[in-house]
Structure 1
């Protein structure tokens, strides 16, 4: 994606943390000569060789999987918080803009076996159930229910490139105090989160 130099984040540890906290992404490949996207959890994991991968699964009813080819490159998009920034908050005249965080991950896709898919789903459920009031485990579900795994296609993406845009008013440093203050007055979570990110970048 296009990233102006002052918005380009190359702090890989920060980006990995972002991916873990914002793992609901969009998997994009080419289906019948057109880009096709599916919104799914894409979990950042480490394979047996210590390499970073994304793990996920989609329904077999989704025709996208029929165009999965081993070693074919795919794009995974992850969106973070975003917020409109009014130029009335600046000392000098300027146009309004939008602050946001977005990460694009490129890699080669490989379809998993049914056993590997099931193991991936166990990890996924365990991760998101741990903070539930009444957590469930796939270990406690009946074989009949677990047979639903036959209706999905699991895959992993070996990561080849990560591009991260953190647009946080870097070109308006003198106005950061006002921007943060104005964003904090808004009730939406995006504005609140962007304000916190700008503050942390200043620290």
Structure 2
């Protein structure tokens, strides 16, 4: 990933927090016909290995778990908050007009060898981990055990597990750090005037990175 120094984020705990907040990762592997990419919700076990271990499940009908090169690293891309940034928010728009639009974003890329796991107990734990993470904020969280055991067992037969011990991980927070303090304030203010959750979250990131 292209990494200008001012956008680079190397803190593992910050990278892990983005993965946990945005667990739908794009799994990219190399197969017999070239690159294969599919989105899957991942559970991160931060304590299972030095950089963390990612676990997911695929449909058995999905060829990606069969057609991949185990000697090549897999890549999982986790896309965090993103927002369009209009040049109208920059002071130079008024002064010289020499400005262009850009896009702010936070992203984590995790690499590692992928292992396929065909084990009902492992799959049940993985599904439980993903479910608990997503249901935790609900007033009455749904649990896998709420479904009949025989139904869950039948569903497990249709999926396969994958596990990736992260060997290297990169974070990039492109959130207007290359602009002046006045521009960053105007960007944050402009985003807060945009009625979307993503814009509000990006405004928070711009403010946060302005004071680092």
Which whole-Å CA distance do the structure 2 matches of 1:200 and 1:189 have between them?
A: 17
C-alpha contact 1:27 1:39 (8 A) present in aligned 2:
yes
Instruction: Specify the alignment match of 2:158 in structure 1.
Output: 151
Comparing 63-72 with 153-162, which one deviates more in the overlay?
A: 63-72
CA distances 1:158-191 after superposition (whole Å, capped 9, x unpaired): 1011111110111112311111111111112222
Higher deviation after alignment, 79-88 or 133-142: 133-142
Matched residue of 1:169: which SS?
A: coil
Alignment counterpart, residue 193 of structure 2, candidates 155, 164, 185:
185
Match of 1:104 among 109, 121, 127: 109
Change (3 A) 1:50 1:9: closer
Question: How many angstroms apart in 1 are the aligned matches of 2:48 and 2:188?
Answer: 43
Matched-pair contact (CA < 8 Å) for 2:86–2:101? yes
Using the size of structure 1 for normalisation, the TM-score is: 0.91
Moved more, 14-23 or 50-59: 50-59
SS at match of 1:164: strand
What residue in structure 1 maps to residue 52 of structure 2? 52
Structure 1 residues 51, 164: closer, same or farther in 2, change over 3 A? closer
Counterpart in the other structure of 2:12: 12
Q: Where in structure 1 are there 5+ consecutive unaligned residues?
A: none
Q: CA deviation at 1:196?
A: 0.7
Query: Residues 101-151 of structure 1, C-alpha deviation per residue, up to 9 Å, x if partnerless?
Result: 111111111112312122211222233233334333223432331121111
Cα deviations by residue, 1:2-53 (Å, 9 ceiling, x for unpaired): 1222111112211111111111111111233221111111121146566610
The total of aligned residue pairs comes to: 203
CA RMSD, 1 decimal: 1.9
Q: What secondary structure, in the 3-state scheme, does the structure 2 residue paired with 1:172 have?
A: coil
The 3-state SS of whatever aligns with 1:170 is: coil
Q: What are the ranges of 5 or more consecutive residues in structure 2 without an aligned counterpart? A: 93-97
Distance 1:50 1:86, change over 3 A: closer
Distance in 2, matches of 1:4 and 1:135, equals 42
Tell me which residue corresponds to 1:161. 168
Q: Is 2:188 aligned against 1:172?
A: no
1:134 aligned counterpart, secondary structure: coil
User: Residue 127 of structure 2 aligns to a residue in which SS?
Assistant: helix
The answer to which of 179-188 and 89-98 deviates more is 89-98
Q: Are 1:129 and 2:153 an aligned pair? A: no
Sort the Cα spacing of 1:51 and 1:98 in 2 relative to 1 into closer, same or farther, 3 A.
closer
Residues 61-90 of structure 1: per-residue CA shift (max 9 Å, x gap): 111111245554100001111111122222
Contact kept? 2:107, 2:172, Cα under 8 Å: yes
